[in-house]
Structure 1
Amino acid sequence: MSFKRTPNHQKYVNKKRIIQCIQECSSISRAEIAVKLQLSKPTVSLVVDELIQEKWVFEKGIGESSSQGGRRPIQLFFNERAAYIIGTDIGGTKVKIVLCDLSGNILADTSFSTNIYLQSGLLKQMAIETDRLLAKNQIAKDRILGMGVGIPGITQTASGLVIEAPSLGWIQYPFIAEAKRYFDFPIFVDNDVNAAALGEQWLGNAQNKRNVLFIAVGTGIGSGIILNNQLYRGASSAAGEMGYMVTNKEDMKREFKPIFHRYGYLESVAGGKSIGAHFTRAVLKDPHHSFFERAQSSELSGEDAFLFAKKGDSTAIAVINDAIEHLAYGIVNAACLLNPEVIILGGGVLNSSEYILPRIREIVDRYLPSLVEMKTSQLGENAGVLGAVSLFLREHDSILNFHNEGDY
């Protein structure tokens, strides 16, 4: 069997390389592209003319005189408004939808409560909100390339099947098949933390990094893993479920009970919900604590614990330090195995990152065999939606998709 590339295939590969080059280096001339990509000038000119005709690229200026007296070459720019992408992040509390251009600029966004529409039809409401977003921004449906969706659960990207999403009550839910009833453009779906990892690599604190560990610490704890520039999903799309790590064997011997049904050990001792629960129990042992009465009537939150810790409350500090230790040991275990270039921390608990990060770093640096860069998410609460857009660009077979072609 011959694996030789046909001329047509080679032209398509060149086209992808050239559009990627223009996208990353706007503005750039045809001659500069030829040098950069080691392609002939006629090849570059032919492809660029096609890209201009298809409106992916536009040119500006006749060029000013250079210092040698000749005219500066015409500069090429990527047309980030050639098409648009919808990014959707389905969370346990709310669904967020954004309208993005091809460079990841959010042009408009909307959101709605997950619980209100979970029974009556989440996808139907997503379609209504998307139509509203397009109409409001005067963008025709045929300008939409497609949609990427992040879901809080184990999700098979290839089949579009949600194996299990506990916070949505979905088990073996055929998401893509259902979505086709409401949307007539391509849709790709993945776990929300995987999507966030892609978002950080595309536009956030993991840019130009090929090996990334993104950890989301919210009610639960999950991670997205990028190895050698590819998202690592695992044998059954369940890679990165860091919340199931065990960081204290003694607890397991005592018939450990997770904080929520089917939650793992680490998220039951270091997630936001567990911090609140442990803080409540600790406050109830101290009748003189200023939150004692409130703790008697309702459970305190993780935010309450952080608020008091920052004020120097010893009960809160002890609870949070314990959670941070567990989280740090989990990070050490994951980093030893994966050896990432950068670890990005995101999720709700990291609103208190200035308190958490130095303590985690201290433990990680002490026990990890090689040092690793550690940062908080640059995209913050947009990591999920922008990651969903990035997911679409990676998975959808179009001229803009270059990640799956290998490294040129």
Structure 2
Amino acid sequence: MIHIANVAGEIAYKRKVCTTGKPEEIHGIIRETLESASIPIEQVAAFGFGVPGITDTRQGIVIEAPALQWANMPIGEKMSQYFNKPVFVDNDVNCAALGERWLGTARKLEDFVFLALGTGVGSAIFANGSLVYGSDYMAGEIAYMVLDDDVLNRDSNAFGQFGLYEKRISGTSLSSHGYASDELFVKYAAGDPLAQKIVRQFVSNLAIGISNVVSLLNPQKVIIGGGVSQSLSDLLEQVRTTVSKLTPVPVAIELSSLGEHSGAVGAAAMALGRIGRLEGDVPI
């Protein structure tokens, strides 16, 4: 997803494109997008990229992004050479959190967690007004959380594989039962016994993870985004009720208001914030 935004958060142009890991193709797609939007490169202040992987955002290096076949890729430097403009890079879920804080459900919040439920699972942590990165830029790797069954079964987590918790609440996990995840929720609402069993377990597992996060971090909100979130509006109250039973720490639990656009909006916020051009209270 590509968004062109101004400093006030107004989206001048947006476009959905196919994913590619080839820098020259990314360059071409951006050039085509600017031409389609009738925006000359001279009017572009900076570029922001959200990448599905572990990212050293300060140096603009993607440490690992298996989906793009990148390892220690200096994508910030490469894109800067193409455009001769400032380029900034971060993990896609961190970007989604920035997007929600700039224009979405987390607007101006100091402490919140963004939970992305899609093909895989990820999270981003805002604490005391700033993103939390961790010593190796791996903070928020919620996919690797474990439950008691994982310990009893002697299961383990490993890089390059789906995390143990991810296998319980991701869209891929839900689809493994023979239905697409959105179809599964429709069958649940229609009273299908198998779908109801699967979705109830999903709600339980999701609530356990959220409860642990809330007890550890005491966020003002947990915001749920990603493709799976589009099917959760009717289940959100169940999640809230279960979480309130599992932890005494208060929290608001809401769905993303930006949906699939949160990452692109956040990438724009990151880029504008890093060059000091962002309007609104969104420190980067």
**What TM-score, normalized to structure 1?**
0.65
Q: What do residues 243-294 of structure 1 show as CA deviations (whole Å, max 9, x unaligned)?
A: 11112x22333243779942211111111111121x23xxxxxxxxxxxxxx
Change (3 A) 1:321 1:258: farther
Instruction: Select which of 252, 262, 267 maps to 1:373.
Output: 252
Change (3 A) 1:403 1:345: closer
**What TM-score, normalized to structure 2?**
0.93
Q: Does residue 1:269 correspond to 2:174, yes or no?
A: no
Shift of 1:154: 0.8
Counterpart of 2:66 in structure 1 is: 166
In 2: Cα distance, 1:321 partner to 1:185 partner? 49
Aligned runs of 1:6-405 on 2, under 5 Å? 96-114=1-19, 117-118=20-21, 121=22, 123-247=23-147, 249-256=148-155, 261-277=160-176, 279-280=177-178, 300-397=179-276
In 1: Cα distance, 2:4 partner to 2:270 partner? 14
In 2: Cα distance, 1:343 partner to 1:375 partner? 6
In 1: Cα distance, 2:239 partner to 2:205 partner? 9
The residue type equivalent to 2:72 in the other structure is: Q
Is contact 2:88-2:271 (8 Å) kept? Answer: yes
In 1: Cα distance, 2:159 partner to 2:134 partner? 24
The residue type equivalent to 1:167 in the other structure is: A
Give secondary structure in 2 for the equivalent of 1:214. Answer: strand
Give secondary structure in 2 for the equivalent of 1:210. Answer: coil
The residue type equivalent to 1:112 in the other structure is: V
Which segments of 5 or more consecutive residues in structure 2 lack a partner in the other structure?
none
In 1: Cα distance, 2:159 partner to 2:63 partner? 18
Shift of 1:402: 7.4
Q: What do residues 335-369 of structure 1 show as CA deviations (whole Å, max 9, x unaligned)?
A: 11110111111001111112331221111111222
Is contact 2:112-2:221 (8 Å) kept? Answer: yes
In 2: Cα distance, 1:312 partner to 1:235 partner? 46
The residue type equivalent to 1:108 in the other structure is: Y
Is contact 1:194-1:223 (8 Å) kept? Answer: yes
Give secondary structure in 2 for the equivalent of 1:355. Answer: coil
Greater Cα radius of gyration, structure 1 or 2: 1
Give secondary structure in 2 for the equivalent of 1:335. Answer: helix
